């Protein structure tokens, strides 16, 4: 297993960010967001999404330039990590993707194929991300079509919408629609035949699987 970045694994980095954010967030807002997370947990997305052994569906996605691409063709019969994130406005998503790009930049991890997928429009992604510096492929899942196939999508409660507005987060503008829906952050590994060999998700958007462990699982396939 690879050593963690700067001696901190992803879970530690996210916990530190969560603790820092909690210390400056008004208690009533923090309570409302915790309530929304607990309500999401009651839907048990882990049981409703793909399981190990299931076939991962094909989809037409947009690359960072706005060009349509078939996921199946992009996979080209090779194993891949497929990570769903909420958007570049999400600080925890940004920390996760920053960790992966450093991890995949290491010599021992060169050649690992990873797709990071969000419902965000390509032009928004391009505006906020230096895609050339990434070591994975960024894709846009327009209107959460693929995420819906995987049963990862939920509607934002009105109170959370209001909180996001206070934080300056405009999901409508980010996604180019008015659905106010987001995917549960989730990570899948699929083998060369398109079968799921690993899946991890958590309704708590501040929690992600340990990236080093994900890489180790991927390497079992090569």
Q: Which domain holds residue 101?
A: 10-219
What is Dmax (Cα atoms) for the chain? Answer: 49
2 part of a folded domain: no
Task: Give the Cα separation of 69 and 54 in Å (integer).
Answer: 22
Contacts of 170 (CB under 8 A, 6+ apart): 89, 164
Q: Give the tokens for residue 206.
A: 């501040």
Decide which of 126 and 161 is more confident: 161
86 part of a folded domain: yes
What is the β-pairing status of strands 114-118 and 137-140?
parallel
Which pTM value belongs to this model? 0.94
5 part of a folded domain: no
pLDDT in tens, 101-129: 999 999 999 999 999 999 999 988 777 67
54 part of a folded domain: yes
**CATH number, domain containing residue 190:** 3.40.30.10
Q: Spell out the alpha helix ranges (H) of the chain.
A: 10-24, 27-41, 45-48, 71-75, 91-104, 122-128, 145-149, 158-166, 171-175, 211-219
30 part of a folded domain: yes
Our count of domains for the chain comes to 1
pLDDT band at 173 (very low <50, low <70, confident <90, very high): very high
Contacts of 65 (CB under 8 A, 6+ apart): 122, 126
3 part of a folded domain: no
Give which of 161, 89, 169 is closest to 125, Cα–Cα.
Answer: 89
DSSP string for residues in 167-202: TT--HHHHHTSS--EEEPPEEEEE-TTSBEEEEEE-
Burial 63-85 (b: 16+ CB within 10 A, else e): bbeeeeeebeebbeeebbbbbbb
4 part of a folded domain: no
Distances (CA, A) of 69 to 41, 75, 137: 33, 11, 12
pLDDT in tens, 130-156: 767 789 999 999 999 999 999 999 999
**38 neighbors 204 (Cβ within 8 angstroms):** no
163 part of a folded domain: yes
pLDDT in tens, 36-67: 999 999 999 999 999 999 999 999 999 988 99
């Amino acid at each position: 297993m690879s050593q963690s970045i700067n001696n901190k694994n992803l879970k530690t980095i996210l916990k530190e960010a969560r603790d820092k954010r909690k210390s400056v967030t008004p208690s009533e807002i923090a309570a409302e967001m915790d309530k929304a997370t607990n309500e999401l947990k009651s839907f048990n997305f882990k049981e409703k999404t793909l399981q190990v052994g299931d076939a991962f569906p094909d989809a037409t996605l947009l690359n960072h330039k706005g060009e349509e691409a078939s996921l199946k063709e992009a996979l080209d019969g090779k194993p891949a990590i497929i990570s769903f994130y909420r958007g570049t406005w999400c600080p925890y998503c940004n920390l996760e993707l920053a960790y992966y790009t450093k991890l995949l930049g290491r010599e021992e991890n060169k050649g690992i194929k990873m797709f990071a997928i969000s419902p965000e429009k390509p032009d928004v992604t391009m505006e906020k991300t230096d895609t050339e510096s990434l070591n994975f492929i960024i894709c846009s899942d327009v209107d959460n079509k693929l995420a819906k196939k995987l049963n990862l999508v939920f509607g934002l409660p009105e109170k959370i919408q209001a909180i996001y507005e206070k934080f300056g987060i405009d999901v409508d503008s980010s996604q180019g629609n008015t659905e106010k829906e987001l995917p549960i952050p989730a990570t899948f590994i699929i083998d060369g035949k398109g079968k799921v060999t690993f899946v991890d998700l958590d309704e708590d958007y501040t929690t992600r699987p340990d990236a080093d462990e994900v890489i180790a699982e991927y390497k079992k396939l090569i």
